[in-house]
Each structure stands twice: as C-alpha cells, then as structure tokens.
C-alpha cells in the first residue's frame, strides 16, 4: 500500500480496509490523502488507527476532508481511534459529520 519513513499503510481483511501504523504529519499527509481517495469504493471505508503513534492537525484534517467527500450513503469508519484524536473531533464538531463514524470493533490483518 504505502511505506514511508514515518508511516506504513497496509490492508485489512475483516472488515476490508486500511491500517495506519506510525505517524501522520505534514511530511506524509499528501500520501494519506491519496491513499484514502484510492480506496474509496461503493461501501464504507474502514480505517484502523490503533497503531498510530502521532497525528498532527494536518492528518486529522485529511481524515475529515475525506469523510466530507463521501456521498452520504457511505462513511469513513475509524477503528481504534486514539483518545486525543477523538477528543479533537468532538470538540470541533467533526464527530457529527454524516460521513464519519467511530467503531470499537476489532479488525483482522
């Protein structure tokens, strides 16, 4: 999928989606945006963030921007969302976007 110095993105099997490992910041946010766009199908996109060590505001904004592009029938499903990121999404109201959802279920590699 994607391998950079700070971030590795792999596919997950159940549910089908992506796993982000490492750090998202201004140095790789364009790759994050491109990866999300390349995997937008006619269904919800599941993204496991449980192995994310750091995510700056550009990374949070990339997730939100992707959710905003969805057609209302599909969502960006965030799994293993770090508490700090969830708090930011709640405080600024992005957690209420119709294209964004949080899921506490397990994802298999």
Listed residue (75, 13, 1) closest to 41, CA to CA? 75
Domain extents in the chain: 2-103
Distance set, CA 95 to CA 10, 55, 75, 90 (Å): 25, 16, 12, 5
- CATH 3.90.1200.10 is right for the domain spanning 2-103: no
Per residue in 48-82, pLDDT tens? 999 999 999 999 999 999 999 997 789 999 999 99
Of 21, 94, 11, nearest in space to 57 by CA: 94
Report residue 85 as tokens.
């990121």
109 pLDDT more than 80: no
CA nearest neighbour of 45 among 101, 104, 109: 101
Do residues 54 and 79 make contact, with C-beta atoms less than 8 angstroms apart? no
Res. 102: pLDDT tops 90: yes
Confidence (pTM): 0.92
């Amino acid at each position: 999928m994607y391998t950079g110095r700070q971030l590795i993105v792999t596919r997950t099997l159940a549910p089908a989606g992506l796993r982000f490992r490492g750090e998202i910041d201004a140095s790789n946010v364009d790759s994050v945006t491109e990866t999300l766009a390349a995997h937008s199908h006619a269904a919800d996109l599941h993204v496991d963030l449980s192995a994310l060590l750091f995510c700056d505001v550009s990374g949070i904004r990339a997730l939100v921007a992707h959710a905003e592009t969805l057609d209302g029938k599909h969502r960006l499903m965030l799994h293993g969302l770090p508490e700090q990121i969830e708090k930011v999404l709640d405080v600024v109201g992005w957690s209420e976007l119709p294209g964004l959802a949080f899921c506490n279920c397990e994802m298999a590699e």
